[in-house]
Amino acid sequence: MIKERLIETEYSEVMQKSYIDYAMSVIISRALPDVRDGLKPVQRRILYDMHELGIKSDKPYRKSARIVGDTMGKYHPHGDSSIYEALVVMEQDFKKGLPLIDGHGNFGSIEGDGAAAMRYTEARLQKVTEEAFLSDLDKDVVDFVPNYDETEKEPEVLPVRVPNLLINGAEGIAVGMATSIPPHNTEEVIDGVIAYMKNPDMSTEQMMQYIPGPDFPTGGIISNKDELKAIYSTGQGKIKIRGKVEVEPLKNGKSQIVVTEIPYTMIGSGIGKFLNDVFALVESHKTNDITDISNQSSKEGIRIVIELKKGADAENVCNLLYKKTKLEDTFGVNMLSVADGRPETMGLVPIIRHHVNFQFDVNTRKYTTLLRKERDRKEIQEGMIKACDVIDLIIEILRGSKTRKEAKDCLVNGNTSEIRFKSEQSKKDAAKLLFTERQADAILDMRLHQLIGLEIAALRKEYEETMKKIQEYSELLENRGKMAKVIIKELQEFKKSYSAPRRTEIDNIAEVVIEEKPIEEEDVAVLLDKFAYGRVIDMATYERNQEAALEENKKVILCKNLDKLAVFTNSGNMHTIKVLDLPMGKFRDKGQPIDNVSNFNTSKEDALYIEPISSLKGKKVLFATKGGMIKIVDGSEFDVAKRTTAATKLADKDEVIFVGVIYPLDSVVMQTKDNFFLRIDGSTVPEKKKAAIGVRGIRLAKNDELTAVYLINEENERTVKVKGKPVVLNRLRIANRDTKGVKK
């Protein structure tokens, strides 16, 4: 029995079908907008739910949590956070050219501040949303489909009167595809639609006379005007946008650069990153002209102030900002949307063509519904007028009937057998009335005041108006040209009410050229503290604070600002650090971990010796390992471009314990864990390449290891303590390399 119910199939086929079904579900039902109304399903459901809840523009605000919960329960069975996020975006005027929701409370900011929790914020529909997105839903203009559990009905698409896909743009990531459509100016888009309706054969170039390019809510400047035609033809490409800056003069010959508009791509965390990038330019000495930066933005608009030092070239600094920061960025365009039930990348004209065809469909259904209603009204009005002309006979029928059914049967079918009449003539006349079902119901429901003369005159006037409307609607449905005029008139009224001036400039701007001024070489002091934080101060500051610098820091290195530091570690590596990569400032300023500006990792390696690479040239560097191996390497070998290089080769489980510069007359004293000392002449240590392993410096006993190395000369006496007793290293006898040494 069980075997009969089993269905055998290829596993790969099941996986393929399941994945395709999942991908199409994400594409069609979640991530991509419909070309007709320009809305994703979640946006459409939020707006429709607010419409159903009656949260109109002239009604009080309602809690966002109420809207999100209702939308999730009725139409969108997904996470509440995704629904609320979609609601928030539709309210933000810095993301949408035409916000669809009127929010009350904290709905986030252009600087990336998130919206307050949905239990705190409130919302209602914008007036434009009611008029352009949700009107006429009661006129059977779009199809309604069952919701996810088939307990409610929801519109398949909203009857949007304007090309929302272009006006507000769209962003979404599906499976294997993504959409990114920039927002456009409302007035220009409507002009483009009207122009297309008058000339359906127009080209992309002709359309761009009306819609020259995107219009971002944040303003800015589009700098590649000539490339827009190709983008609008194919629906794909990259738009270069840059912020707008002004140079304001200050006192004492100084000036400041003020960013008044930002690229659309900088919305959110991009502003904070821009500030950090400008700060990094100063820290890395890409420019020395910037003295301060502050974000003075407010509700009135963007205002990022960059103060320059006296005599600075403001234009060159602006170019540097465009080149090295997100003040100039690219917006990737991929005009992908769902058309006829499948995802399609379309250019400007095809999107407008789909919108216009949708408008004709919506209006055809609208006026078909209105025509049907007017014909129903005409039928009733004709019956009422006819009834008023024979009102005495109708009253006689009603008075002679025992039930409503008998009276209606007489009025509709002329059946007079059950009704008492005053005369045979009345009976004959009643048999000829023959009203329709609707007319009979209207007559039976008629009130006495409708028999007043003025009411009868008003009824005749209404009938004339109904006949005019029937003629008007019939002509609209029969004549596409007249229908087009109605659509155009509505678009012009919408344009008059909701258009706004263009915010984004469009131009052709040559790519910026930066004149990078060479950094002047100067003497500096690098301070490294015990936590491996490094910073740079100028020599004047160092000389004023020399004593404190030496006391408070583990290492003080005097070098040039253009130099690199060589960090030799116990693992045999040499890491390089550009002095310019370390922050330069005041004596008490906080440093930066050297891990951040090099490959050196303080948790895995120990720094044994740090020296400017320039000072190693022409010198010899001695290496000694725990296993007793030693060698000398020429300092010029460490002048490399790599951030990390092998300074010496090591045997297994061995590590470097000493690195230092050795001079011609130096002696080398080696000390082991068991306190054996061996002094050898420095000239007996062979010079090797940095990739070599070296030679044995001291012969170690079992379980003994080299723990310290000292470089001494006859001019300076060196003493160390062993078990509390001093050992003068200069008095040790010079022995041969690779011997045991003496026990102390």
| Side-chain-side CA neighbours of residue 508 (13 Å) | 5
Please give the DSSP secondary-structure letter assigned to residue 525.
E
Nearest Cα neighbor of 690 from 557, 565, 568 is 568
Helix, strand, or coil here: 653? coil
Tally Cβ neighbours within 10 Å of residue 88: 22
Residue 306 contacts residue 293 (beta carbons within 8 Å): yes
Question: CA 200, 204, 209, 215: dihedral to nearest 10 degrees?
Answer: 110
Nearest Cα neighbor of 165 from 178, 183, 177, 186 is 183
Helix, strand, or coil here: 40? coil
CA distance 41 to 71: 11
CA distance 180 to 187: 21
Question: CA 577, 581, 584, 589: dihedral to nearest 10 degrees?
Answer: -80
DSSP H helix total and E strand total for the chain? 22, 35
CA distance 437 to 409: 9
Residue-wise over 380-407: b if at least 16 C-beta within 10 A, else e? Answer: bbbbbebbbeeeebbebbbebbeeeebb
First to last CA, the chain: 92
The residue type of 144 is F
CA distance 701 to 682: 23
Largest CA distance in the chain: 157
Please give the DSSP secondary-structure letter assigned to residue 68.
H
- Phi–psi pair at 146, nearest 5 degrees: -65, 150
The residue type of 701 is A
- Phi–psi pair at 344, nearest 5 degrees: -150, 135
CA distance 582 to 594: 8
Helix, strand, or coil here: 712? strand
Tokens of residue 482, six digits: 């007249």
Q: What contacts 530, CB < 8 A, 6 or more positions away?
A: 553, 554
What's the distance, CA 336 to chain centroid?
A: 17
CA distance 288 to 406: 102
Sheet-wide strand order for 592-593: 555-560, 523-528, 533-538, 592-593
120 is catalytic: yes
| Side-chain-side CA neighbours of residue 642 (13 Å) | 10
- Exactly one of 19, 48, 75, 120 is catalytic; name it: 120
CA distance 631 to 56: 85
Judged by phi (left if over 0) then psi (alpha if -120 to 50, else beta), residue 248 lies in beta
Element (H, E) at 88: helix 80-91
Q: How far is CA 513 from CA 66, 142, 227, 315, 321, in A?
A: 54, 55, 20, 10, 11
Q: Determine the length of the chain.
A: 744
Mind telling me the catalytic residues? 120
